Amino acid sequence: MADEPLILGIETSCDETGVGIVRGHTLLADALASSVEEHARFGGVVPEVASRAHLEAIVPTMDRALAEAGVTIADIDAIAVTSGPGLAGALLVGVAAAKGYAVAAEKPVYGVNHLAAHVAVDTLEHGPLPEPAIALLVSGGHSSLLLVDDLARGVTPLGSTIDDAAGEAFDKVARLLGLPFPGGPWIDREARAGDPGAIGFPRGLTAAKDLAAHRYDFSFSGLKTAVARWVEARQRAGEPVPVADVAASFQEAVCDVLVGKALDACRTNGVETLVIGGGVAANSRLRAMAEHRAAKQGVRVRVPRPKLCTDNGAMVAALGSHLVASGVAPSRLDLPADSAMPLTVVSV
């Protein structure tokens, strides 16, 4: 609706410089510049390289978003920016830019939590989020299960990874299979030709003895090591590595644990909505498995389209829009870039 506030969102927590513009739940622009290719040869994101790339990309990306939406900065009602968690130097670029634009154009600014933004982005595709909901956030930097009872004011963390993030496990396993970085999409593609039941890889923190302390936590480093040992044994025996079968079996193990724990959280909390976000939510097997198993349990799964699952500015704008609509006060102009921002804080 034309009378809803126009919100601009800035995201720079990792390797994507994103600027999104929304009106209510309507996405008007989603401009993105990625430094992923500059990190590829290192097999992971290099913080200094990411910060420098943000610095170069932020103004052009801002201009592109405004042009795409057909508005000027004067038309914007509020600016939202990722305050944390993320890479300190990278966050600083976005936060400084947001403050600069806010002061110059006399706009309120909201410093927001990146993880809550991953949840909020789904409203651009599926409308208002029924609360309470369970959110499963899986990316290269985070793997968390949250109970979302009031997205504007606070979410309850249920569990998270105790070692590697899910996306990190995809990237590391892809690397040992000789696939490019980032490896998630490559594993996804290879797995289509493989047998998910070919190799029985371990499901971390699902044994009865682990459930008492880690019911909603994840662990992927044991799985990654199991894949490495399996591949090495093949190579030592001089046998070819069946890449498609390894990819499919590994992917099945990750998805099995993610979906199992997310649906367990829905069941124990009496929740009927599961939102999945983060780069790994683009995984085709995760989406299919979640839909299939959730349907049997009467749970509705909401997963935004892949472009909204990975880091972008629209997600920050979507959360900003929700905060404004909920009457939450803006942040102070000295808002921090907080690399370790806790999940319980939605906006600063």
Give the residue ranges of the annotated binding site for substrate.
Answer: 137-141, 171, 184, 188, 283
By a kind-dependent CB cut-off of 5 to 8 A, residue 216 interacts, out of Zn ion, ligand KG4, none, with none
Interaction between residue 183 and ligand KG4 (CB under 6 A): yes
- Binding mask 251-290 vs ligand KG4 (x if CB under 6 A, - otherwise)? ---------------------------xxx-xx-------
Nearest distance from residue 162's CB to ligand KG4, in Å? 18
43 binds ligand KG4 (CB under 6 A): no
Instruction: Give the residue, chosen from 83, 113, 123, 139, that forms a contact with Zn ion under the rule CB under 5 A.
Output: 139
Span from 69-77, 136-144, 240-248, 326-334 in contact with ligand KG4 (CB under 6 A): 136-144
The least CB distance from residue 117 to ligand KG4, in Å, is 11
Give whichever of 267 and 307 is closer to ligand KG4, judged by the CB atom. 307
Total of residues contacting ligand KG4 (CB under 6 A): 19
Output the known binding site: 114, 118, 137-141, 171, 184, 188, 283, 311
By CB under 5 A, tell whether 311 contacts Zn ion: yes
Among positions 294-313, residues that touch ligand KG4 (CB under 6 A) are 310-311
Looking at the Cβ atoms of 139 and 143, the one nearer to Zn ion is 139
**194 makes contact with ligand KG4 (CB under 6 A):** no
Q: What is the 3-state secondary structure (H, E, C) of the chain?
A: CCCCCEEEEEECCCCEEEEEEEECCEEEEEEEEECHHHHHHHCCCCHHHHHHHHHHHHHHHHHHHHHHHCCCHHHCCEEEEEEECCCHHHHHHHHHHHHHHHHHHCCCEEEEEHHHHHHHCCHHHHCCCCCCEEEEEECCCCEEEEEEEECCCEEEEEEEECCCCHHHHHHHHHHHCCCCCCCHHHHHHHHCCCCCCCCCCCCCCCCHHHHHHHCCCECCHHHHHHHHHHHHHHHHCCCCCCHHHHHHHHHHHHHHHHHHHHHHHHHHHCCCEEEEECHHHHCHHHHHHHHHHHHHHCCEEECCCHHHHCCCHHHHHHHHHHHHHCCCCCCCCCCCCCCCCCCCCCEC
Residues of this chain that interact with ligand KG4 (CB under 6 A) are: 14, 139-141, 167, 170-171, 182-185, 188, 278-280, 282-283, 310-311
| Chain residues in the site for Zn ion (CB under 5 A) | 139, 311
